[in-house]
Amino acid sequence: MKPLRSLHRLRPLVCASIAGVLSLLLGGCVSGHEPGTGEPARVTLNTDLPTYAAAAVKYNANTVGLERVFAGGAVVRITFPDERGVSQREQVEGSLQLIRPSRVALTIRKVGQPLFWLGSDETRYWWFDLTGETKYAVIGRHDLFRQEQATKIGLSVHPLELVRLLGVMPLPTEQGTLGGTQWSASGQWLGISTPLTDSPGNSGGFQRIWVDRETFLVQQVDLLNADRELVLTAQHSEHASVSMTDRPVGPMLATRIVVRHLPSGSVLDLSMPDATDGRRRISDKAFVFEEVSASLKPDKTFDLDRAPTQHPELPTNPTAE
C-alpha cells in the first residue's frame, strides 16, 4: 500500500481525539476558562449552586444505558496544520465499539480501507497504523503508559481518554470523593470537576464536565494534564436517543462531538448518527489484541513498555517533536 502522506500527519489528532480542556476548578478555588473559549471564566456566584455529590448523582442518571455504545456509520472530519502551517482537511469513515470502562475499538477507514485501529482492554492498549509501506502495531500496558514514548509514534492520548471525551463515564460518588462545581459565566452550564485518580500510567490529571443546568446533558468535556495545562476539549451537540434492544427509548448521547487538541491546533469533528447499545453488533474479538492483529496482519509489532533503545526500528510520527 502506498504511503498516504496527509493521513500520516493525522496520527496525533486521530489518537488525541479518539480517540478524548481548560483549567479545572475544584470547588471554584482555581480560576478557569469559559467553555469553548480561552478567556478566563467569570464565575457567577449563585446560592443554588449544587454540591458535587448532588450534581454527580443527577449526571450519573443520564449515563445509565451507556455502558455499551456502537456506532458503525461514523463520519470523521479532520482539520490539521501541515508542515507549512497551512490548514488541511480530510474526511474519513469510522466505527466505534465501546464497553465501559476500558474496552475500546475505534476503526478509521478511507473508502472502506482500514487505516488506523485504536483499541484497549482491561490491562492493555494498542494502535495499528496501516497507512505506510510497512504496516505496524504498537501495544502496551495501561499502568506502564509513558506519554513521551507514545507520542513518538503518534499516540498523543491514551485510548481510555476517549471514553471520558464521549461523556459516557459515570462520576465517582464514593464517600470522600474530591470534586467541585461551578456555573459558567452565562449561568446556563454547570461545571462538574474531579481529579483523575485512574489515569493511564498513574500520571494524574483532571476533568471537568459541563452540563446543561436543566437537563444535565453533556455540553463539553475538558481534560487537563497533571500540571493543569489545557490539553483537550470535546464539545457535544445534536443529542439524540441511543437505540436500545430492551427498551423503546434509550439514553441521550451527542451525535456530534468536536474535539480540539490544543497543543497541535488540530480539530476532529465526529458525527455518529446511528449510535446503538450494540447488543447485536459489538464483537468481543474487537477487544482482543491477538484477534485484531490476526485480522489486520501488521508487518511488525512493537512493545512500547520496552526501553526505547530496544526499538531501533520503531516508526516515528512525522509531526512529533
Beta strands in 184-321 (DSSP E): 189-195, 206-212, 218-224, 230-241, 252-261, 266-271, 300-303
What average pLDDT does the segment 66-81 reach?
88
| Predicted pLDDT at 50 | 94
Residue 274's region, left for phi above 0, alpha for psi from -120 to 50, else beta, is alpha
The answer to whether residues 11 and 127 touch, using CB atoms and an 8 Å cutoff, is no
Per-residue model confidence as pLDDT tens digits over 46-66: 458 999 999 999 999 999 999
| Predicted pLDDT at 321 | 34
Per-residue model confidence as pLDDT tens digits over 4-50: 445 555 554 444 333 332 222 233 333 345 555 443 454 544 458 99
Per-residue model confidence as pLDDT tens digits over 133-175: 999 999 999 888 776 666 666 665 677 888 899 999 999 998 7
What average pLDDT does the segment 98-121 reach?
92
Residue showing cell 476517549: 162
3-state secondary structure of 147: helix
**Mean pLDDT, all residues of the chain:** 80
The phi and psi torsions of 266 (rounded to 5 degrees) equal -90, 155
| Predicted pLDDT at 22 | 24
Per-residue model confidence as pLDDT tens digits over 207-262: 999 999 999 999 999 998 888 888 889 999 999 999 999 889 999 999 999 988 88
Q: Cβ contacts of residue 109 below 8 Å, gap of 6+?
A: 92, 93, 94, 95, 115
| Predicted pLDDT at 304 | 86
Give domain 5-20+24-310's CATH architecture.
Clam (2.50)
Global pTM value: 0.80
User: How far apart, in whole angstroms, are the C-alpha atoms of residue 283 and residue 265?
Assistant: 34
Tell which residue, 159, 160, 169, has the closest CA to residue 194: 169
3-state secondary structure of 252: strand
